[in-house]
Amino acid sequence: MRHIDQIILNALLIASLALSLRCADEEVSDRVQVEGREQNAFDPSSTSAQTFTYNSSTGGTALAGASASFPAGSLSSEQGGQINVFMEPGSLDFHETVTSEISSQINIQVDQAATPVAIFPSGDVSVVSAFTISVPTPAGTKLRLNSLDKLTVFYQIFDPDKKEIRSGLKTSDLTASDDGKFLTFSTSYFGVFQAIKTKETIANDVEIKSNATTIKSSLDDSEIFSTKTEASNTQIPELTFKTSTSTITENGTNATITAILSAKATKDVVISFSYEGTATVNTDYEKKDSLTIYTGDLEGSVALSSKDDAIYEGDETIIISIVAVNANVPETNKQISLKLTDDESQPSVSLSCTPASIAENSNQKVTCTLNLSHLSANEVKVTSAYDQGTGTKDSDFAPDTNTLTITPGSQSTSWEIAMINDSNYEGNETMIVDISSVVNGTESGNEQRQTITLTEDDNDPNTRILFTSYQGGDGNFYLMEPDGSNKTRISNFGGNTAINDMQASLAKDRSRLTYYIATGSWNVWTMNIDGTSATQITGGNTSRFPSLSPDGNTIVYGKYVSGYKLYRIDIDGQNDQKLNDVNANELYPDWSPDGSKLVYASQTEGVESSYQLYIINADGSNRTRITIDNGMAYSHPSWSDDGSKIVCDITYQNNGSTTNIYVMDADGSNLTKLTDTAYNSDPHWSPDGSSIVFVSNRDGNQEIYKMNADGSGVTRLTNNAVTDKSPTWE
């Protein structure tokens, strides 16, 4: 067995320590101990740091309190088991030996010297990582504000791998204890260390090296002590860490993680990783927990692969850290950050609401739903708005919320809107549900908007039905409520029973009406809705079937000039002019709601018995036929208030006694029959488009009736022995 304690003392001190070495051939455990030597047991299997403190009470008490602290795993031995570490005082003039070796580089004058510390192990020991030594300062040393000025440490150490004895002095990285009695520093070598106070300030470390073979003869032909302080089977060369790219994409781009050694290791190097960041392991990417650089190789790699999904998460991060190398944690973790880009965009939000129409007094609610185009990992917040329709929020309807949240993992959410019933007549209104703003998403398309019709359940106090009745034997105009109540006579044409054909048309503001009556001949008149200010407009020719423009300024009527032709005249009787010039009778004109067009019944040119519907511009241009000649005669067209529909009556040419009411789109398409009895005629839309008033003899006498716009809910409004006819709306 090697006599380790003798060898290191001879090698390092080269007899300058003048220690008494005995029993060169004896085992360490049996030998006579050098005075002041202390033996400590280092346990290589311990996971805790181990500190040895010099406590000898025999000799060298000036060394008391000196210590060596070894981190867990810092020493290893091929022999295994416990490692003995020895500490003992060296010769007080140790510094003279060191000084003589480095005097060629620097002039050193020692002021005070402390007792040296000799520290060495037993057996063939490898130093895996640095340990800390504390040596006493010279007696009476006073530190000024913890300044280490003029304090240095002399040392002599052996580097077995480089086969060098290194002597020198250390000035950097010294730390003084609080009481100033010890200097602490870090080293990876065993040897002899002595704290010195010099007369000059030594600015830099100084070291010289000697070839170890030159002193072999002085070591009694023994082997030079071997403390392995560089790369070994358990110590790793310098490690670098990189990835093949700094950015990977969710839909398939991968990254290669590579670890590189500065020199080949003598065993497999296993590097363990940890993963952090906003991306989720096994959901957004697949990881590798470690990689191995095999013996003799300089690098090793593993792949990190992304995972695709249909969820928007935005760009995320993957932070990869080295947490252990062969179970030894580096002092500073090495990290790499990757960017994981999302291949989904922010989801778009679409809106739907049902039903599309709801009564004001309905107990039902409108349900609106928001749908995402695809899932999101973020909360999508949507704010709704209701300020575009004619209905008023919190007066006509009440949504249960204005802000909706679609939670992560969900693709839709809904809310309800309740109707508010009141007793005020407002007519049909609209509720427009709009998306005002979207957080963590976008609005689908240009605009998401839903329009719901709120149908009125109250009667319009200003909307009554105007009709002609021959009560008392004379014809006059009457007004009644939409339910047929409160019939009131508004005109007084006297007892002229010859007045048996009269028809009224109102301006849009309902303040004034136009009509035709016979006072010797048929002429067009106007008067106020209360029956006052009756004024004759036309004269000289038979003039019938007037229609007053929505703005109340112009009348279009049929004038008999070799048949009825359409004329237009100002409300004051000026500018009477022919509207068009066709060889056919033209009757029953009705203005479009915007006043730009007229619909009317006209004979098909050259066919006396066939009346079709035509549309013409208000200036007489662009005469266009919208119905098909299929053996039916069209008359009394009425345009709906929104301009989308036309209602009329149709008489079959092969059965003149059968007249019924039909509705069609404004272009003549989608013709639909609404009545199916002997005689139904002269229909007119209500202002809100919900109902139609008309004449029928279905009960044996010609009376005024009302029905819903789809033909349902037929209600009789008059019940007279005389004829009631020509209804329209006030």
Q: pLDDT confidence of 108, banded at 50, 70, 90?
A: confident
Look up tokens 């009317």; give the residue. 600
Cβ neighbors of 540 (< 8 A, separation 6 or more) are none
Mark whether 395 and 418 lie in a shared domain. yes
Which of the 8 DSSP states describes residue 623? -
CATH number for the domain harbouring residue 29: 2.60.220.30
Region 137-164: mean pLDDT is: 77
Q: Which of 425, 455, 485 is the last residue of a domain?
A: 455
Mark whether 71 and 188 lie in a shared domain. yes
Look up tokens 């346990």; give the residue. 43
pLDDT at position 599 is: 95
Q: pLDDT confidence of 9, banded at 50, 70, 90?
A: very low
Q: How far apart are CA 131 and CA 69, in angstroms?
A: 6
Cβ atoms of 431 and 454 within 8 Å: the answer is yes
Q: What is the pLDDT of residues 157-186, one digit of tens each?
A: 877 777 778 888 888 888 888 888 889 999
Mark whether 46 and 191 lie in a shared domain. yes
Region 652-657: mean pLDDT is: 65
Mark whether 55 and 106 lie in a shared domain. yes
Mark whether 101 and 202 lie in a shared domain. yes
Mark whether 299 and 360 lie in a shared domain. no
598 domain residue, yes or no? no
Region 644-650: mean pLDDT is: 94
Number of H helices and number of E strands within the chain?
2, 59
Mark whether 189 and 211 lie in a shared domain. yes
pLDDT at position 496 is: 52
Mark whether 383 and 256 lie in a shared domain. no
Closest CA to 564 of 583, 548, 591: 583
Element (H, E) at 417: strand 412-419
Ranges 158-172, 323-337, 561-575: which has the least confidence: 323-337
What is the pLDDT of the chain when averaged over all its residues?
81
Q: How far apart are CA 268 and CA 69, in angstroms?
A: 29
Residue with the larger pLDDT of the pair 512 and 500: 512
233 domain residue, yes or no? no
Overall pTM > 0.95: no
Closest CA to 653 of 635, 671, 639: 635
CATH number for the domain harbouring residue 376: 2.60.40.2030
Q: Which domain holds residue 286?
A: 239-341
Cβ atoms of 549 and 591 within 8 Å: the answer is yes
Q: How far apart are CA 506 and CA 489, in angstroms?
A: 16
Q: What is the pLDDT of residues 52-81, one digit of tens each?
A: 998 875 555 788 889 999 999 888 887 667
Backbone torsions φ then ψ of 9, nearest 5 degrees: -65, -45
The pLDDT of residue 499 is above 60: no
The pLDDT of residue 657 is above 70: no
Q: Which of 413, 431, 455 is the last residue of a domain?
A: 455
Q: How far apart are CA 211 and CA 106, in angstroms?
A: 21
Region 142-171: mean pLDDT is: 78
pLDDT at position 233 is: 40
The pLDDT of residue 712 is above 60: yes
Q: Please state the domain count of the chain.
A: 3
220 domain residue, yes or no? yes
Mark whether 88 and 9 lie in a shared domain. yes
Mark whether 57 and 187 lie in a shared domain. yes
Closest CA to 579 of 615, 608, 628, 612: 615
Q: How far apart are CA 533 and CA 526, in angstroms?
A: 8
CA atoms within 13 A on the CB side of 65: 13
In the chain, pLDDT over 90 holds for what percent of residues?
28
Q: What is the pLDDT of residues 505-533, one digit of tens each?
A: 766 666 777 777 776 678 888 888 888 88
Q: Which of 455, 482, 507 is the last residue of a domain?
A: 455
Q: What is the pLDDT of residues 534-545, one digit of tens each?
A: 888 888 778 888
Q: How far apart are CA 10 and CA 90, in angstroms?
A: 12
70 domain residue, yes or no? yes
Mark whether 78 and 215 lie in a shared domain. yes
Cβ neighbors of 620 (< 8 A, separation 6 or more) are 566, 568, 578, 579, 580
Q: Which two tokens stand for residue 22?
A: 């005995």
Q: What is the pLDDT of residues 359-406, one digit of tens each?
A: 988 888 999 999 999 998 889 999 999 988 888 999 899 998 889 999
689 domain residue, yes or no? no
546 domain residue, yes or no? no
Q: How far apart are CA 527 and CA 529, in angstroms?
A: 7
Mark whether 85 and 197 lie in a shared domain. yes
196 domain residue, yes or no? yes
In the chain, pLDDT over 70 holds for what percent of residues?
83
Helix (H, G, I), strand (E, B) or coil at 18: coil
Q: What is the pLDDT of residues 230-274, one digit of tens each?
A: 333 444 567 778 888 888 888 777 888 888 887 777 678 888 888
527 domain residue, yes or no? no
